[in-house]
C-alpha cells in the first residue's frame, strides 16, 4: 500500500545515490514499513521506483523477512499485470531496497473516489486484468493475501480505440511464497496480515492456511465496490467488520446484470469450496459475460440465436409501439376442426347418383323413340323397333378419403359438393331405308288391237 509521503522523514534521501547507481529524485509515497522514491538508474538513465525499508524498522527481523518475502514473490513472477522487480540489495547504511518499474497512473482506490461506481463493463474489464495477474501468481505458488484497491495500479496504454486502462498488481509484502515457511496469520504489533475489510473468513476466524481462493474473496469485495461505489459491509470497529465478513450474507446488486451479481455472490461465499476453483475460472466467467450482447441473460441470448429474416416478415400498416390491447367486446372466432366424413354417407350418395344416371338414360331413350315414330308415320309403316336396352345402375365403390391437414385460417371453409356430371343423350338410331315394293303382274294380259290401215 502506498500512502502520501511524510516529507520531513523522506527528504533525507533526496539527491542521494544508493548502491552507487540509484540517484533519488523525488518522494513518491510511503507505506507501513517502507518509503517509495523516484530514482534514476545509472548508467542507463532509466527512471525506476525505488522502495526502501524505513529506518525505524531497519533492525526488526520480522519486517526485514517481510521485505525479503516481497522481493522473492516478485522474482517468481513474470506477467504484464504484476509489477516487475528490477533489482534488490542493501544500501551503504544497511537498509534493504528494491528497484521496480516506475508506473504512472492512479490506484483503483483513487479512481473510485474520483468517479464513484464504475460502469459494469469497465468494472469487469478491470477485474479481468486483475484475474490475469492473480492467475500468474497462483501458478507460481504465490498467494497475495492483501488484495485491495490501494494495491491495484491503473496505468494508461495506447489501444486501437484510444487510451485504455492497464492493471498492475502491487505490494506483495505479505504474500505467501512457494517456500511455505511463512503461514503466519498475525504480523507484528498484533495486526492482521492484510486488511480486515478484504480478508476471507477462513483467514480471519479459523486460522486456515491461505489458498488462492482467499484472494478470490478479496477480488469479490473489490468487484462489489467497483459496481456499487460502496463497501460490502460497514462497521465502527475492525472486530465488528470481521464478524460481518465471517457471518453475514452480502446484499445482492440489483443495478447490474444478473450474471454479474451471481459471480459476485459466488466470490463472496463463506466456504472456500463454494467459490470458483481458481482465478482462471473467474477469468473465463467474465469473458463469457462480456461476450454476450449488452450482458443480457441467457434467455435473451437464446432469442438472439433465432434466425429471423426481416424480408419475409409481414409489414404492419401501423407499427406497434406498445403491447396490443384486446377489446372485450370483440368476439374472436373459435376454430373448429372439420368433421371426418362418414363412409356410409359417401356410399349412399354414390348409390343415389348412379340411380339418377340410370333414370336419365331411360328417359332419353324414350324421347328418341317417340321422335322416330313421328318420322315413320309420314313415310310409311315403321320398322319394328328393337326392344330398348335397360342399363342397370352402376354402383360406385366407396372411396377412402385421407384426412385433410389442419387449415391455417382461423375459420374452416367446407369444400363444395362434387359436381354432377352432365347426362349425355345417346345418339339417335339410324333408320334403315324402306324396302322397294314390287308391283304385281297383270293377271289378264290386255290385247291392244292393231289400228294400222
Residue 258 sits at φ, ψ, to 5 deg, of -60, -35
Three-class SS of residue 155?
strand
d(C-alpha 62, C-alpha 418), whole Å: 106
Is residue 141 within 8 Å of residue 209, measured between CB atoms? no
CA atoms of 64 and 33, how far apart (whole Å): 9
205 DSSP assignment: I
Helix (H, G, I), strand (E, B) or coil at 198: helix
83-106 core/surface letters (b: 16 or more CB in 10 A; e: else) = bebbebeebeeebbbbbbebbebb
Distance CA 135, CA 131 (A): 6
Location of C-alpha cell 462480456? 290
Q: In what order do the strands lie in the sheet with 162-169?
A: 105-107, 152-159, 162-169
Identify the CA nearest to 100 among candidates 132, 125, 75: 75
Matching residue, cell 480486515: 196
Please give the angle made by the CA atoms of 347, 351 and 353, to the nearest 5 degrees.
115
278 belongs to the catalytic site: no
Residues 6+ apart with CB under 8 A from 60: 188
How many angstroms separate the CA atoms of 1 and 172, rounded? 9
| Of the candidates 107, 108, 98, 96, the residue with the CA atom closest to the CA atom of residue 48 | 98
- Alpha carbons 430 and 54: distance in angstroms, whole number: 140
d(CA 191, CA 216): 22
Return d(Cα 165, Cα 170) in angstroms, integer: 15
* Strand-strand pairing, 46-53 and 85-90: unpaired
Rg (CA), the chain: 53
- Paired with 40 in beta bridges are 23, 47
**Among 246, 167, 234, residue whose Cα is nearest residue 202:** 246
Q: How many CB atoms lie within 10 A of CB 397?
A: 7
CA 418, 421, 422, 423 dihedral sign is: negative
Instruction: Spot the catalytic one: 56, 60, 79, 146.
Output: 146
Q: Which residues are catalytic?
A: 146
Amino acid at each position: 500500500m502506498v500512502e502520501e509521503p511524510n516529507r520531513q522523514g523522506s527528504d533525507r534521501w533526496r539527491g542521494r545515490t544508493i548502491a552507487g547507481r540509484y540517484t533519488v529524485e523525488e518522494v513518491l509515497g510511503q507505506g507501513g514499513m517502507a518509503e517509495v522514491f523516484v530514482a534514476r538508474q545509472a548508467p542507463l538513465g532509466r527512471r525506476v521506483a525505488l522502495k526502501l525499508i524505513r529506518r525505524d524498522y531497519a533492525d526488526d527481523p520480522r519486517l526485514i523477512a517481510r521485505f525479503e518475502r516481497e522481493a522473492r514473490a516478485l522474482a517468481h513472477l513474470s506477467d504484464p499485470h504484476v509489477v516487475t522487480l528490477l533489482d534488490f540489495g542493501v544500501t551503504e547504511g544497511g537498509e534493504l531496497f528494491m528497484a521496480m518499474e516506475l508506473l504512472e497512473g492512479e490506484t483503483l482506490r483513487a479512481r473510485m473516489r474520483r468517479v464513484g461506481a464504475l460502469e459494469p463493463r469497465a468494472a469487469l474489464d478491470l477485474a479481468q486484468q486483475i484475474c490475469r495477474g492473480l492467475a500468474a501468481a497462483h501458478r507460481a505458488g504465490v498467494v497475495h493475501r492483501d488484495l485491495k484497491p490501494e494495491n491495484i495500479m491503473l496505468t494508461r496504454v495506447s489501444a486501437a480505440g484510444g487510451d485504455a486502462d492497464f492493471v498492475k498488481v502491487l505490494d506483495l509484502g505479505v504474500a505467501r511464497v512457494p517456500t511455505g515457511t511463512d503461514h503466519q496469520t498475525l504480523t507484528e504489533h498484533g495486526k492482521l496480515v492484510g486488511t480486515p475489510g478484504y480478508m476471507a473468513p477462513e483467514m480471519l476466524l479459523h486460522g486456515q492456511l491461505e489458498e488462492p481462493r482467499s484472494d478470490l474473496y478479496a477480488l469479490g469485495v473489490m468487484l462489489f465496490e467497483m459496481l456499487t461505489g460502496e463497501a460490502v459491509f460497514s462497521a465502527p470497529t475492525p472486530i465488528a467488520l470481521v464478524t460481518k465478513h465471517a457471518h453475514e450474507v452480502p446484499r445482492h446488486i440489483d443495478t447490474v446484470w444478473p450474471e454479474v451479481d451471481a459471480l459476485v455472490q459466488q466470490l463472496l461465499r463463506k466456504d472456500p469450496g463454494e467459490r470458483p476453483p481458481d482465478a482462471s475460472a473467474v477469468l473465463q466467467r467474465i469473458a463469457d459475460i462480456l461476450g454476450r450482447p449488452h450482458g443480457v441473460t441467457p434467455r435473451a441470448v437464446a432469442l438472439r440465436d433465432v434466425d429471423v429474416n426481416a424480408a419475409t416478415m409481414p409489414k404492419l400498416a401501423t407499427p406497434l409501439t406498445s403491447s396490443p390491447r384486446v377489446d372485450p367486446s370483440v368476439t374472436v372466432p373459435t376454430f373448429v376442426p372439420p368433421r371426418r366424413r362418414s363412409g356410409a354417407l359417401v356410399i349412399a350418395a354414390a348409390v343415389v347418383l348412379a340411380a339418377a344416371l340410370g333414370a336419365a338414360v331411360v328417359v332419353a331413350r324414350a324421347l328418341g323413340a317417340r321422335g322416330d315414330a313421328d318420322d315413320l308415320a309420314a313415310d310409311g309403316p315403321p320398322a319394328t323397333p328393337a326392344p330398348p336396352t335397360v342399363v342397370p345402375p352402376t354402383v360406385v365403390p366407396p372411396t377412402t378419403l385421407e384426412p385433410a391437414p389442419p387449415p391455417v385460417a382461423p375459420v374452416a371453409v367446407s369444400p363444395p359438393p362434387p359436381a354432377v356430371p352432365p347426362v349425355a343423350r345417346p345418339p339417335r338410331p339410324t333408320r334403315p331405308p324402306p324396302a322397294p315394293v314390287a308391283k304385281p303382274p297383270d293377271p289378264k294380259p290386255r290385247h291392244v288391237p292393231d289400228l294400222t290401215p
